[in-house]
Chains A and B, each alone.
Chain A
């Protein structure tokens, strides 16, 4: 071996000992939480969302009246009628009670397709991204075909063929959201697959499954989850939109989109009562969007 060169040896002595300096330890989630606490707008919308979730979950307790009980005398009473805080619908049912109960189906129909698509699309994207090559080609080119439809159109096409019903609406929306989630997962996975720590894991002899479980999943989950939360906002609008077209829930079940559709006929009698269900859809969708944006900033994720 050659003698120590002046460069290496000299500097080694002069340098500050690098091993003694340690930053204050803060886990990733602590950092995320702290930056969320400094973001009042996101917190406000998170609060609204929690309120909406809670009031629909506890609708049975909170609702002042039976959402199915019709009352021909009280038909289309305006907002503020005694005993009917938010008015009554075209069959004289209490609007407040129906809005509280209606949120359940709207939320279930909006959230469950994204959750299902997250599982299916996530697995497809992970497989395509990690394996690459021909597998990637096969999966992603099929996804591209579904991408050739605008989402509303695809949802209506599948729902229209399957027929009305909650399950059919959920199926069709799941199919709508699989492609975008698979695409995002694939692109994030492909980026991560080429990073050195995945190479290092391969170099230590781990098989594909172990590497995905230990190294890829934890790094893909964050961005894909955040992306999915932003899709919930779209999903809620689409789900209620399907009901609005008569493709989702069937009467007399309360659901915001369906309520909007039936009350539409009565706008000349009781205009603002008819607008209420849509306002709820808007508020929920907006809250999911704002929360998703806030989380994305806090988690420092760029898609």
Chain B
């Protein structure tokens, strides 16, 4: 067990390094001189010279990578040439706002996903199962940026009951846990939760249906146990799978929220990315991607470790 966890943690190091190599490479796949990707076109000569030296563009690529990595590790992702402010500053604010969305979505996703999935798996083949399965497939097939737009049309345009944009009244940039801000949370969180609901429903349904066919459940039935008690047994056995799927979904949500944030003008990482793309601000792009990817890597690691603690068989395979 300990060996498995230790090995799993050690294994993250090469993966994380690989991720940084890819992100570093983004500057070099950008068309034109890599210098143009990090230096604003209207920068004065002296600034250009300083930047060349800072990034080491006059040095071989491995050295450039080492310089870049060293700076990134110390939290210095460069200067955004759209705002002229350090990238790290912008990211810090964006990550918090994105996490608010992702946390809300995963909460709804896990609750509804487990509930619908368990019911569908328990009454396999019934109309309720067919409905849930259909809903789950629709959930994973829907372009969520469009779903967000449809929700805006229904609740903001047609009914005018919920705000369509921003994270607070009057384009507020700071979050507060009050009713005015919470109203802004409703539509984006619902939009974002549709995919986790779909995926968690599917896997919970499959797990529950599989466990129900196992002999130990039939033994419980033969022993005359009430169906509710059996249901609890099944839930306990389905837990590791649900946990794994949900954990991964948090990671996906961080990435997937980009398009939804664009729809709702939510000032999170997605909004930053959108900005970076629009202004071809490569340092900002690299910084945001790096932070989100690392988050995903750590999330994966935590899920694996937690799963191996719950179900030791995982560690052995």
Number of chain A residues whose Cβ lies closer than 8 Å to a Cβ of chain B: 46
Of B18, B21, B141, B277, chain A has the most CB atoms within 10 Å of the CB of B141
Q: Is A177 an interface residue (CB 8 A)?
A: no
> What residue in chain B is nearest A150 (Cβ atoms)?
B255
Pairwise interchain contact A289-B285, C-beta atoms closer than 8 A: no
Among A152, A233, A240, A272, contact of B141 (Cβ-Cβ < 8 Å): A233
A264 to B149, CA, bound (A): 8
Pairwise interchain contact A281-B296, C-beta atoms closer than 8 A: no
Q: A146-B22, A244-B145 are in contact. Are A278 and B30 (CB under 8 A)?
A: no
Chain A residues near B282 (CB, 8 Å)?
A: 161
Pairwise interchain contact A158-B153, C-beta atoms closer than 8 A: no
Among A145, A161, A289, contact of B137 (Cβ-Cβ < 8 Å): A289
Q: Is B251 an interface residue (CB 8 A)?
A: yes
Pairwise interchain contact A150-B141, C-beta atoms closer than 8 A: no
> 1/0 per residue A254-292: CB within 8 Å of B?
000000100010011001101101110110011011100
Pairwise interchain contact B23-A157, C-beta atoms closer than 8 A: yes
Q: A148-B18, A148-B293, A260-B146 are in contact. Are A272 and B256 (CB under 8 A)?
A: no
Of A141, A157, A162, A289, chain B has the most CB atoms within 10 Å of the CB of A157
Pairwise interchain contact A271-B145, C-beta atoms closer than 8 A: no
Pairwise interchain contact B18-A142, C-beta atoms closer than 8 A: yes
Q: Is B183 an interface residue (CB 8 A)?
A: no
A267 to B155, CA, bound (A): 12
Q: A157-B23, A268-B157, A286-B141 are in contact. Are A141 and B14 (CB under 8 A)?
A: yes
**Minimum distance in angstroms from B276 CB to a CB of chain A:** 7
Q: Is A52 an interface residue (CB 8 A)?
A: no
Q: Is A300 an interface residue (CB 8 A)?
A: no
A278 to B144, CA, bound (A): 9
Chain A residues near B296 (CB, 8 Å)?
A: 148-150, 153
Q: Which of B64-72, B170-178, B257-265, B302-310 contacts A (4 or more CB under 8 A)?
A: B257-265
Classify the interface of chain B: helix, strand, loop or mixed.
helix
Among A142, A153, A268, A279, contact of B255 (Cβ-Cβ < 8 Å): A153
A65 to B23, CA, bound (A): 45
Q: Is B280 an interface residue (CB 8 A)?
A: yes
Q: A151-B255, A162-B31, A163-B30 are in contact. Are A285 and B142 (CB under 8 A)?
A: yes
Q: Is A99 an interface residue (CB 8 A)?
A: no
A279 to B297, CA, bound (A): 34
Among B138, B149, B262, contact of A286 (Cβ-Cβ < 8 Å): B138
Pairwise interchain contact B153-A275, C-beta atoms closer than 8 A: yes
Q: Is B95 an interface residue (CB 8 A)?
A: no
Pairwise interchain contact B22-A156, C-beta atoms closer than 8 A: no
**Minimum distance in angstroms from B92 CB to a CB of chain A:** 18
State which residues 69-111 of A face B: CB under 8 Å: none
Among B26, B145, B297, contact of A241 (Cβ-Cβ < 8 Å): B145
Pairwise interchain contact B150-A278, C-beta atoms closer than 8 A: yes
Number of chain B residues whose Cβ lies closer than 8 Å to a Cβ of chain A: 52
State which residues 162-192 of A face B: CB under 8 Å: 162-163
Chain A residues near B152 (CB, 8 Å)?
A: 267
Chain B residues near A156 (CB, 8 Å)?
A: 258, 273, 277, 289
> 1/0 per residue B264-290: CB within 8 Å of A?
000000000110111010100100010
> What residue in chain A is nearest B255 (Cβ atoms)?
A150
Chain B residues near A271 (CB, 8 Å)?
A: 153, 157-158
Classify the interface of chain A: helix, strand, loop or mixed.
helix
Pairwise interchain contact A158-B29, C-beta atoms closer than 8 A: yes
Q: Is B292 an interface residue (CB 8 A)?
A: yes
A22 to B254, CA, bound (A): 58
A150 to B240, CA, bound (A): 22
Chain A residues near B18 (CB, 8 Å)?
A: 142, 144-145, 148
Chain A residues near B14 (CB, 8 Å)?
A: 141, 145
Chain A residues near B276 (CB, 8 Å)?
A: 160
Q: Is A126 an interface residue (CB 8 A)?
A: no
A244 to B260, CA, bound (A): 11
Q: Is B189 an interface residue (CB 8 A)?
A: no
Chain B residues near A142 (CB, 8 Å)?
A: 18
Chain A residues near B277 (CB, 8 Å)?
A: 156, 159-160, 245-247
Q: Is B252 an interface residue (CB 8 A)?
A: yes
A141 to B19, CA, bound (A): 12
Among B29, B149, B255, contact of A161 (Cβ-Cβ < 8 Å): B29
Chain B residues near A240 (CB, 8 Å)?
A: 143
A264 to B254, CA, bound (A): 23
Chain A residues near B147 (CB, 8 Å)?
A: 278
Chain B residues near A150 (CB, 8 Å)?
A: 251-252, 254-256, 292-293, 296
**Minimum distance in angstroms from B231 CB to a CB of chain A:** 26
**Minimum distance in angstroms from A90 CB to a CB of chain B:** 15
Of A142, A246, A278, chain B has the most CB atoms within 10 Å of the CB of A278
> What residue in chain A is nearest B290 (Cβ atoms)?
A157
A277 to B146, CA, bound (A): 9
Instruction: Provide 15 A-B residue pairs closer than 8 Å at the C-beta atoms, listed in order of the A residue.
Output: A148-B296, A150-B292, A152-B256, A153-B293, A156-B277, A161-B27, A161-B29, A162-B29, A240-B143, A244-B145, A245-B259, A277-B146, A282-B143, A285-B141, A285-B142
Instruction: Apart from A275-B153, A288-B141, list 13 A-B contacts with CB within 8 A.
Output: A145-B14, A148-B300, A153-B258, A153-B296, A157-B289, A160-B273, A161-B26, A161-B27, A267-B157, A268-B157, A277-B146, A278-B147, A282-B146
| B interface list, Cβ under 8 A from A | 14-16, 18-19, 21-23, 26-27, 29-31, 37, 137-138, 140-143, 145-147, 149-150, 152-153, 157-158, 251-252, 254-256, 258-259, 262-263, 273-274, 276-278, 280, 282, 285, 289, 292-293, 296-297, 300
8 smallest beta-carbon distances between A and B, as pairs: A278-B146, A150-B255, A145-B18, A153-B255, A161-B26, A286-B141, A271-B153, A285-B141
